[in-house]
Amino acid sequence: MAETTTQHAPVRFETHPDRYVHWKLDFPAEHDGKVARLQMDVKEDRGMRPGYVLKLNSYDLGVDIELADALQRIRFEHPEVRALLVTSGKDRIFCSGANIYMLGSSSHGFKVNFCKFTNETRLYIEEMSAESGIPSLASLNGTASGGGYELAIACDEIVLADDGSSAVSFPEAPLLGVLPGTGGLTRLVDKRKIRRDLADAFSTIAEGVRGKRAVEWGLVDEAPPKAKLGEVTKRRLDALVARSTRKPFTPITLTPLEAKRSENKTEYGYVTLELSPKARTARLIVKAPTTKQPETPEELAKAGASAWAIQAFRELDDALLDLRFNHPTIGVVSVETLGDPAAVLAVDAMLAKHKDDGLVREVILLMKRVLKRMDLTAKSFFALVTPGSCFVGSLLELALASDRIYMKDSEDEEVTVATSPLNAGLLPMANNLSRLQTRFLREPERVSRVLEQGPLRTRDAVAAGLVTFAPDDIDWDDEIRIAFEERASLSPDAMTGMEASLRFAGPETMETKIFGRLSAWQNWIFQRPNAVGEKGALTLYGRPERPSFDWART
């Protein structure tokens, strides 16, 4: 399977249930509409790119974009939903994972980005359960293999039809010479807490484990006979609905983003992405609200998707994905903000005050996810704090998520940064710490000090530990130019690895292990001859020849 070198059309991440090809989202009457049912029914011949057929409910990025969209809409557009059911619209198969031929024909970069995106989406299912009060159940009416079981294991509970043939399996290692890299291995031991030896055995049995043994090993929670699957699914969903902590609110509609796209520039309402392909740099600019923003949850519901807190962060999310998938050679991104800091702080104050409101909670979680997306984006981010910028509160997080913060030390103009209550733990990173806590691991007392202080001018911000370098008016332009040129000249691989190692100080969580350990190993394996060489297992899958391995281990 040769990697394709043809230029593909840019990947776009917006869709709508009316346009879903591979998923059906509905709200069955038997649960009074309190359960969102997502049925996977992949259309074989509707892959995102040519060259592969999506057999047996296997997926590509197009399938996962629909899933991510559905989850987002369930959050905002369906406050009545109190549980999520993930199942299959096909008769004897739940899902057979990421399409092997798609992986085999994709570039390394696309594979990595694909896995990252699908990993994020799986984590969103878990976040829905943990934070939004929407626990989830995977009801497996057939075999779930590879990424199919990884999708199931992202749900709180799994039931598997015991029909003598349906199995859960991780065939990646024995069949393909790669890993179940969408969190599968990590979740076996960290989430379902399956014994490592059983997890080891499970992950090397290509055909997987069925029925009773799957229950004994903890791979699934229950394995009723096929005829009872519906009944068991309903019983468990009723229990999930009963334990849900979802709070009612007025639904809002996620309207399509408006973006003016030209060759090197995308202008959304509040976000602008400007590319300099030759310099391999980009500018990511986020503007503060310019109109009156909602002051209560009711007004927020009325404003809907046009409220700054929702619109700006949805746009930012789209821009980050655009950077990842469509602009692989961009290496360094300047993170800039523009506008009235007071307007941002007012939005933050409202959100903090009403953080227990159902809709507000969803808005804060949206911000959190987008900021995490930034943490996990393999570009060098340099925040530029200048006169006219508004790195305060929720937008200060953009600077804190950056690899460096440059703040102008100006004689004439006021340059400030400021915190808001949102910096105090409402927008945690994957390590479950706030960005301030992660930044000040060595001197934790600085966190509360920064949070208590008002706006900080450059010298105070430097003293507080918020600034990397603070060039003055005279030096600024040169310093910044040189910093970007230097950074853009360094090995992109080394920068990706270095940044990923430095960004997530502090404790490990399942999430950091998935991205920092599992994904890193997977990305290494994806480059190795044993997987993708001429005689590699992934290369030769489905071909007449058998793989031949380099047996050396370290």
Partner 1 sequence: MSTVVNDTKIPNNVDLASDKRLQRALEAWQPNFLAWWKEMGPCGFQNDDVFLRTAVSVTSDGWAHFDYVKMPDYRWGIFLADPVPDRKIGFGDHYGEPVWKEVPGEYRNALRRIIVTQGDTEPASVEQQRMLGHSCPSVYDLRNLFQVNVEEGRHLWAMVYLLHTYFGRDGREEAEALLQRRSGDPDKPRILGAFNEPCTDWLSFYMFTFFTDRDGKFQLLALAESAFDPLSRTTRFMLTEEAHHMFVGETGVLRICERTAQQMAEKKLDNADQVRAAGLIDLETMQKYLNLWYSLSLDLFGGEISSNAATYFATGLKGRAKEEQYEDHKALDGTYAMDVVKDGKLAREDVPLRNAMNEVLRDAYIEDCQRGVDKWNRAIAAHGIPFKLELPSRRFHRHIGVYAGLYFDPKGNLLTKEEWEAKKDEWLPSAADKEFVKSLMAKPVFDPKQMANWIAPPKQGIKGRPVDFEYVRRQA
CA gap 425, 270 in Å, rounded: 25
Contact partners, residue 5, CB within 8 Å, separation at least 6: none
CB of 224 to partner 1, least distance (A): 9
Residue written as tokens 């096929």?
Answer: 226
- 29 vs 227, beta carbon nearer partner 1: 227
Which of 62, 224 has the CB closer to partner 1?
Answer: 224
Nearer to partner 1, 213 or 283 (CB): 213
Is 165 a binder of partner 1 (CB under 8 A)? Answer: yes
Contact with partner 1 (CB under 8 A) among 69, 126, 150, 162:
162
Site pattern 16..55 for partner 1 (x: CB under 8 A): ----------------------------------------
- Closest distance between partner 1 and the C-beta of residue 227, in Å? 5
Single out the residue of 24, 191, 226, 487 in contact with partner 1 (rule: CB under 8 A).
Answer: 226
Contacts of residue 124, Cβ cutoff 8 Å, sequence gap at least 6: 68, 71, 72, 369
Size of the residue set binding partner 1 (CB under 8 A): 19
CB nearer partner 1, residue 256 or residue 542: 542
Does 164 interact with partner 1 (rule: CB under 8 A)?
Answer: yes
Which letter does DSSP use for residue 187 in this model? I
Identify which of residues 228 and 487 has a Cβ nearer to partner 1 in the complex: 228
Residue 546 within binding range of partner 1, rule CB under 8 A: yes
Q: 379-399: b or e for each residue (b if 16 or more CB lie within 10 Å)?
A: bbbbbbbbeebbbbbbbbbbb
The binding track of 109-138 with respect to partner 1, each residue x by CB under 8 A or -, is ------------------------------
Nearest-approach distance from CB 162 to partner 1, in angstroms: 8
Instruction: State the minimum distance, in angstroms, from the CB of residue 532 to partner 1.
Output: 17
Among 197, 411, 412, 545, binds partner 1 (CB under 8 A): 545
Q: Which is nearer to partner 1, 213 or 247 (CB)?
A: 213
Quote the least distance from Cβ 316 to partner 1, whole Å. Answer: 41
Smallest gap from residue 115 Cβ to partner 1 (A): 22
Q: Which of residues 483-512 bind partner 1 (CB under 8 A)?
A: none
Beta bridge pairs of residue 337: 286
Instruction: Choose between 91 and 445: whose C-beta lies nearer to partner 1.
Output: 91
Smallest CA-to-CA distance from 118 within 181, 73, 50 is with 181
Q: How far apart are the C-alpha atoms of 142 and 34, rounded to whole Å?
A: 25
Piece of the chain touching partner 1 by CB under 8 A; list 12-20, 74-82, 114-122, 162-170: 162-170
Lookup result for tokens 């349906």: 166
- Residue 206 in the binding site for partner 1 (CB under 8 A): yes
Q: What SS3 state is found at 373?
A: helix
Please, which residue, 278 or 553, has the CB nearer to partner 1?
A: 553
CB 180 within 8 A of CB 147: yes
Pick the stretch among 23-31, 223-231, 244-252, 421-429 that binds partner 1 (CB under 8 A): 223-231
Least Å from the CB of residue 543 to partner 1: 7
Alpha helices of 287-357 — where are they, by DSSP H? Answer: 297-303, 308-326, 341-353
Query: Could you give the C-alpha distances from 340 to 157, 291, 420, in angstroms and in order?
Result: 46, 11, 14
Can you tell me which of 133, 174, 497, 506 binds partner 1, judged by CB under 8 A?
174
Asked if 279 is part of the footprint of partner 1 (rule: CB under 8 A), the reply reads no
Could you tell me the smallest distance in angstroms from the CB atom of residue 210 to partner 1?
Answer: 8
Q: Is 227 in the site for partner 1 (CB under 8 A)?
A: yes
Q: Does the protein bind partner 1 through residue 197 (CB under 8 A)? A: no
Q: How far is the CB of 545 from partner 1 (least distance, A)?
A: 7
**Spatial contact of 62 and 110, defined as CB atoms under 8 Å apart:** no
Which tokens is 517 given? 């350990």
Q: How far is the CB of 1 from partner 1 (least distance, A)?
A: 12
Rounded Cα distance between 277 and 254, Å, is: 32
- In whole angstroms, how large is the CA radius of gyration of the chain? 24
Q: Which stretch binds partner 1 (CB under 8 A): 34-42, 219-227, 278-286, 370-378?
A: 219-227
Q: Between 218 and 230, whose beta carbon lies closer to partner 1?
A: 230
Query: Which of 460, 428, 458 lies closest to 446 in space, CA to CA?
Result: 460
Contact 147, 98 (CB under 8 A): yes
CB-CB contact of 74 with 33 (8 Å): no
Nearest in space to 147 (alpha carbons), one of 87, 90, 96: 96
Q: Based on CB atoms, which residue is closest to partner 1, 51 or 164?
A: 164
According to the binding rule CB under 8 A, does residue 172 interact with partner 1?
Answer: no
Which residues, at least 6 apart from 169, have a Cβ–Cβ distance to it below 8 Å?
143, 144, 145, 146, 149, 202, 205, 206, 207, 208, 209
Q: Is 225 in the site for partner 1 (CB under 8 A)?
A: yes
Q: Do the Cβ atoms of 1 and 539 come closer than 8 Å?
A: yes
CA 550 to CA 554: how far, in whole Å?
A: 12
DSSP code per residue over 503-540: HT-S---HHHHIIIIIHHHHHHHTTSHHHHSTT-HHHH
Between 44 and 298, name the residue whose CB sits nearer to partner 1.
44
Q: Which residues bind partner 1 (CB under 8 A)?
A: 162-165, 174, 205-207, 213, 225-228, 541-546
